[in-house]
Amino acid sequence: MHVSSLVAASMMAPFVAGHALIISVQGLVDGKQAGPVGQAIGYDRSVPLNGDLRHVPIFNQRGIATWNGCGQNILTGTLLAAKVAQAQVGRGEIAQALAGGQVFMVLHQVNGDGNGPFICGIDAAATAARGSFKKLEIAKQVPGANPELNAVATTNHPLIINLPADLECTGTFGTKENICLIRCQNFAINGPFGSCAAIQIVTELKSLYKRDADGEDASVKVKRQEEAGPEKKDPEVGKGASDADIAKLMSRFDTTTKKAKRQEEVEPEKKDPEHEDGQTCSDY
């Protein structure tokens, strides 16, 4: 069932299992988390991450040139980016990043329909209008080979994107200016699945953690020199997340469900039906 039947599906089935969505968004400075933790549009913390992901956005445009809006989900229907972002500003849930820096997102995957690869685009005006998204470079991709379906345990993946050095965001929501809208989605046949997220571009960010895994001081405030020539700018500002950095970042977002973990410890005949080989979550 495709997105055109989404509303009908919500009335027909009280529990519809999702496939993948972004649960956290944050800027990176030299591979370290920086600035506020943002929330993806459509993500609802009150919905448990146990396979019943009624808040998972589903899109009906595949080519980035045709992207329009931020999709729909079972929980709320059409996701209105402007309305949601306005509310997120009031709750302090808009992530910040540097132009030329990186954005670190946590992708929560339920089954093979939620695997990678993902494609991401950015809308500088934050309108989510058709044709407004421009393709972004992905520094850390979600594993997978869509559109092939395969059985996987519920898990989280890092999804890291590089922002253009000349990025200028012009969106305004509430008291926040310089906001862009990011949209990431996969190529699932039953989807695509993914999320939108608003980010604010700022001129400085400070790492939230004073020391990294090796005990090295990482509390470095990065300042963007707007008037400096390209040769004077640090090309590594906001970049350089190593595998160790990514592992540490992901350890703070380990929300893998106990139910999924339990599948590795029980005999095959005792596995829960929705996690058996060859079975996937219900289609929308």
How many independent structural domains does the chain possess?
A: 1
HSE-CB for 172 with a 13 A CA cutoff: 3
Domain with 178, as residue range(s), is: 20-204
Q: Does residue 53 belong to any structural domain of this protein?
A: yes
Q: Does residue 283 belong to any structural domain of this protein?
A: no
Q: Does residue 236 belong to any structural domain of this protein?
A: no
Q: Do the beta carbons of residue 253 and residue 106 sit within 8 Å?
A: yes
Q: CA geometry: angle at 203 spanning 197 and 205, to 5°?
A: 75
Q: Does residue 89 belong to any structural domain of this protein?
A: yes
| Consecutive H or E run containing 223 | strand 221-223
Q: Do the beta carbons of residue 53 and residue 15 sit within 8 Å?
A: no
> In this structure, how many other beta carbons lie within 10 angstroms of the beta carbon of residue 17?
21
Q: Which of 256, 284, 260 is nearest to 272 (CA)?
A: 260
Q: Rounded to whole angstroms, how far apart are CA atoms 228 and 224?
A: 9
Q: Does residue 2 belong to any structural domain of this protein?
A: no
Q: Give, for all 284 residues of the chain, the pLDDT tens digit.
A: 444 444 434 333 333 444 788 889 999 988 888 999 998 988 878 777 776 667 677 777 788 888 988 888 777 777 888 888 888 898 889 999 999 999 999 988 877 666 778 999 999 999 999 999 999 999 999 887 755 555 566 788 899 999 999 999 999 998 899 999 999 988 877 778 888 999 999 999 877 654 443 333 333 333 333 344 444 333 333 455 667 767 766 765 554 434 434 433 444 444 333 333 333 333 33
Residue with tokens 């005949």: 269
Q: Does residue 168 belong to any structural domain of this protein?
A: yes
Judging by beta carbons within 10 Å of its beta carbon (0-12, 13-18, 19+), is residue 216 exposed, middle or buried? Answer: exposed
Q: Rounded to whole angstroms, how far apart are CA atoms 131 and 68?
A: 7
Q: Would you state the pLDDT for residue 246?
A: 74
Q: From residue 241, give the alpha-carbon distance in Å to each of 33, 238, 248.
A: 10, 8, 10
Q: From residue 30, give the alpha-carbon distance in Å to each of 23, 131, 155, 238.
A: 22, 32, 25, 5
Q: Rounded to whole angstroms, how far apart are CA atoms 107 and 172?
A: 26
Q: Do the beta carbons of residue 199 and residue 130 sit within 8 Å?
A: no
Q: Does residue 254 belong to any structural domain of this protein?
A: no
| Consecutive H or E run containing 182 | strand 176-185
Paired tokens of 15? 């529990």
Q: Would you state the pLDDT for residue 44?
A: 79
Q: Does residue 249 belong to any structural domain of this protein?
A: no
Backbone angles phi, psi at 268, to 5 degrees: -50, -40
Cis, bond preceding 36 (omega within 30 deg of 0): no
Q: Would you state the pLDDT for residue 254?
A: 56
Q: Would you state the pLDDT for residue 208?
A: 65
Q: Do the beta carbons of residue 197 and residue 173 sit within 8 Å?
A: no
Residue with tokens 């954005």: 103
